[in-house]
Amino acid sequence: MKVVYHERYRAVYSSDPAAQPGRIESITNELQGQFEFVKPKPASEEDLLLVHGKGHVEYVRAHQLVYETALLAVGGAIKASEIALKGEPAFGLIRPPGHHASPNSSWGFCYFNNMAISIERLRREGRIEKAVIVDIDLHYGDGTANIFEGVGDVTYFHPDGWNRQAFLDEISRFLAARKDKVDIVAVSAGFDRHEQDWGGMLKTEDYFTIGKMIKEFAEKACDERRYAVLEGGYNHFVLGKNVKALLEGMM
C-alpha cells in the first residue's frame, strides 16, 4: 500500500473544516513508518478540463493558494490511480476534497473533483473502460454523480444505510451484485460518518471491514486494482485511526 502525500497538503488554504490546521497531521502521524509515502506532481489544466468547464477553472484560479493546493490534490488522486492500475493499492492523502465539485460549480469544501478526474484521465487514455466508485462519505457526492451521469461504464455508488449494520450491509450487497468485470475500483473515502464525527454512526473497525470488502471485490472483479482518496472526516482525534483501519483492510 502506497500513500500519496505532499507536505503542501498541510497548507491552511481557507477557513473551512477540511482545511483546518492539524487535520492532515492527524493522519500522517498514524501512517508514517507503516506505509510507503510517495509524492505527486500537480495536475495540469488539461487534466482539470477533462471534467470541468473553463469558467470553473478560472473561478478557482482567482484564489491562488486554493488553486495551487487543489492542483496538487488532483495530482495526488491521479498518482494513486496510476499506482492502482499496476495492481498495488494506493491512498491519496490529499486535500481539498473533491466529490462536491461538478463540471461548472463546486461547494462543500471542494473545488476540483479529484476522483472524477483521476478516473476520466484513465478512460480518455484508453487504459481503462469500466470503473466503480464507492463513496463512503457522510454526504452524497453530487459532483461525482453529475460528472458521470449517463456514462454507463462508470458506476457511482453512495450507501445511505440508516444505521451501522445497514450501511455495511448495503456496501456488501452492492459489491456482491456486481457480476461483470471492471477495470478498477475507487473509494471516495470520507470518515465523517464515524461515531465521534458528524455522522455519529460507524466505529473505527468498520472502516477495516469496508476496506476488506473493497479488497475482496478488487481481487475478483478487477485484477486487484483499487485505490482511495480522502474526502471528509473532521475529528482530528479519531481521523488518523479511521484512515489507518481502511488502509489495513484494503491491503
- The alpha carbon dihedral of 45, 50, 55, 56 has a sign of negative
Most distant pair of Cα atoms in the chain: their distance:
45
How many Å apart are CA 112 and CA 97, to the nearest integer?
A: 8
How many Å apart are CA 197 and CA 112, to the nearest integer?
A: 24
How many Å apart are CA 118 and CA 7, to the nearest integer?
A: 21
What is the number of H-type helices and E-type strands within the chain?
Answer: 9, 9
Cβ atoms 81, 19 nearer than 8 A: no
- Give the per-residue pLDDT at 32: 95
Antiparallel, parallel or unpaired: β 101-102 and 105-106: antiparallel
How many Å apart are CA 97 and CA 77, to the nearest integer?
A: 10
Q: What is the pLDDT of residues 78-104, one digit of tens each?
A: 999 999 999 999 999 999 999 999 999
Please give the chain's pLDDT, 251 residues, in tens.
Answer: 999 999 999 999 999 999 999 999 999 999 999 999 999 999 999 999 999 999 999 999 999 999 999 999 999 999 999 999 999 999 999 999 999 999 999 999 999 999 999 999 999 999 999 999 999 999 999 999 999 999 999 999 999 999 999 999 999 999 999 989 999 999 999 999 999 999 999 999 999 999 999 999 999 999 999 999 999 999 999 999 999 999 999 99
- Give the per-residue pLDDT at 227: 99
- Give the per-residue pLDDT at 87: 95
- Give the per-residue pLDDT at 181: 95
Global pTM reads: 0.98
- The alpha carbon dihedral of 47, 53, 54, 60 has a sign of negative
Q: What is the pLDDT of residues 168-189, one digit of tens each?
A: 999 999 999 998 999 999 999 9
DSSP 32: B
- Give the per-residue pLDDT at 187: 99
- Give the per-residue pLDDT at 229: 99
- Give the per-residue pLDDT at 146: 98
DSSP per-residue string spanning 164-203:
HHHHHHHHHHHHHH--S--SEEEEEE--TTBTTSTT--B-
- Give the per-residue pLDDT at 104: 98
- Structural domains of the chain ordered from first start: 2-250 (3.40.800.20)
Residue whose grid cell is 498518482? 79
